Amino acid sequence: MPAKLSLLGGFPVKKLFVALVLSGGAPSLEGVAHEPGPVVDAGTPTMAAPVVNCTITGHVELVRPTNARATEPVVVSLERLANSPAVKTDPPKTANLYQRDLAFVPSWLVVNKGDSVAFVNDDPDFHSVFSVWALDPFLIPQSRKSVSGTRLFDVPGLVPIRCDIHSKMRAEIFVLSTKYYAVADSRGNWRIEAPAGKWRVRAVERNGASVVTEVSGCDSPVSLTLVQGPAPKQVRRDGTNYKYEP
Ligand SMILES: [Cu+2]
């Protein structure tokens, strides 16, 4: 019975349980059929509430230091709150991030929590891959041309990726807890299709600065201002400066 009750998403389970006990027989929705909300129960009529999808639009103004590149990414996402609509997650995926011509290509990626990234060395040179992000540090040791290694990313956040040999190699992986996201275009505009509800809107830039607000229903446009953080100092995995670069 508990497993069956757990399928009744959106239904007031306590009240239904009482109704079932009182009925004393096969599960029946008699007496509670007027209640709103979807019911998922094979063999009984389905009273599915229509899912209303929204197109939430907005603009994020990225205030950059004067010497920053104009192409810096800003990732805007809708994060679940306690009363947000339920979200079905997509199956895990694996993205490729290459080491090519002494650079990470692409220099940033967006993945969902639970996705993996294959780091592929396309150079004749040795490279390593590491992150010193406190919540999910890792090291893929130096390797020549080959698939260097694949890593699962299951902690949401901004993961800085570096090489322990080359001081200019830099990439960031935006690991999101939600599949509802967009990358703002060069003018700062974005749009996200999502079920109507209450969401936390978070905008993050690659140096780690972020700003949040909330939306309800299909309210938009959403206006955000994000002051870019300082570029991080590039240091080796042990915190020391790069010395010899082959
Ligand atoms: Cu390298």
* Residue appearing with tokens 């505009």: 189
Specify whether 128 is located in the same domain as 164.
Answer: yes
How many angstroms separate the first and last alpha carbons of the chain?
Answer: 66
Q: Domain range holding 150?
A: 88-177
CATH code of 133's domain: 2.60.40.420
- Please list the pLDDT of the chain residue by residue as tens digits (246 residues): 333 333 333 333 333 333 333 333 333 333 333 333 333 344 444 555 667 899 999 999 999 877 656 668 999 999 999 889 888 889 999 999 999 999 999 999 999 999 999 999 999 999 999 999 999 999 999 888 877 799 999 999 999 999 999 999 999 999 999 999 999 999 999 999 999 999 999 999 999 999 999 999 888 999 999 999 998 999 999 999 998 776
Specify whether 45 is located in the same domain as 68.
Answer: no
Separation of CA 53 and ligand 1 centre (Å)? 44
Separation of CA 164 and ligand 1 centre (Å)? 6
pLDDT of residue 102: 96
Does the pTM of the predicted model rise above 0.85?
A: no
Separation of CA 76 and ligand 1 centre (Å)? 30
Separation of CA 151 and ligand 1 centre (Å)? 17
What are residue 159's phi and psi, to 5 degrees? Answer: -105, 115
Separation of CA 152 and ligand 1 centre (Å)? 21
pLDDT of residue 16: 32
pLDDT of residue 246: 65
Q: Give the DSSP letter string of the chain.
A: -HHHHTT-TTS-HHHHHHHHHHH-SS---TTTTTS-S----TTS---PPPPPEEEEEEEEEEE--TTS-TT--EEEEEEE-TTSPP-PPPPP-EEEEEEETTEEESSEEEEETTEEEEEEE-SSS-EEEEE--TTS-EEEEEESSEEEEEEEE-S-EEEEEE-SS-TT-EEEEEEES-S-EEE--TTSEEEEEEESS-EEEEEEETTS-EEEEEE-TT---EEEEEEPPPPPP---TTSPPP----
Bridge partners, 116 (sequence order):
94, 152
Specify whether 24 is located in the same domain as 46.
Answer: yes
pLDDT of residue 67: 62
Domain contains 245: no
Q: Which of 177, 192, 224 marks a domain boundary? A: 177
What are residue 236's phi and psi, to 5 degrees? Answer: -75, 175
Specify whether 109 is located in the same domain as 69.
Answer: no
Cα within 13 Å of Cα(24), Cβ side:
1
pLDDT of residue 81: 93
Domain contains 242: no
Specify whether 134 is located in the same domain as 94.
Answer: yes
pLDDT of residue 70: 60
Specify whether 214 is located in the same domain as 151.
Answer: no
Q: Give the DSSP letter string of 33-49.
A: TTS-S----TTS---PP
Separation of CA 234 and ligand 1 centre (Å)? 13
Domain contains 62: yes
Specify whether 149 is located in the same domain as 225.
Answer: no
- Least Cα distance to 235 among 143, 170, 140 occurs for 170
CATH code of 79's domain: 2.60.40.1120
Do the strands 94-100 and 115-121 form a parallel or antiparallel pair, or are they unpaired?
Answer: parallel
Separation of CA 110 and ligand 1 centre (Å)? 21
Q: Which of 132, 162, 177 marks a domain boundary? A: 177
Specify whether 32 is located in the same domain as 141.
Answer: no
d(Cα 71, Cα 64) in Å, to the nearest integer?
A: 11
d(Cα 121, Cα 106) in Å, to the nearest integer?
A: 13
- Least Cα distance to 195 among 38, 50, 44, 23 occurs for 50
pLDDT digits (tens, 9 = 90+) for 45-103: 455 566 789 999 999 999 987 765 666 899 999 999 988 988 888 999 999 999 999 99
Separation of CA 28 and ligand 1 centre (Å)? 65
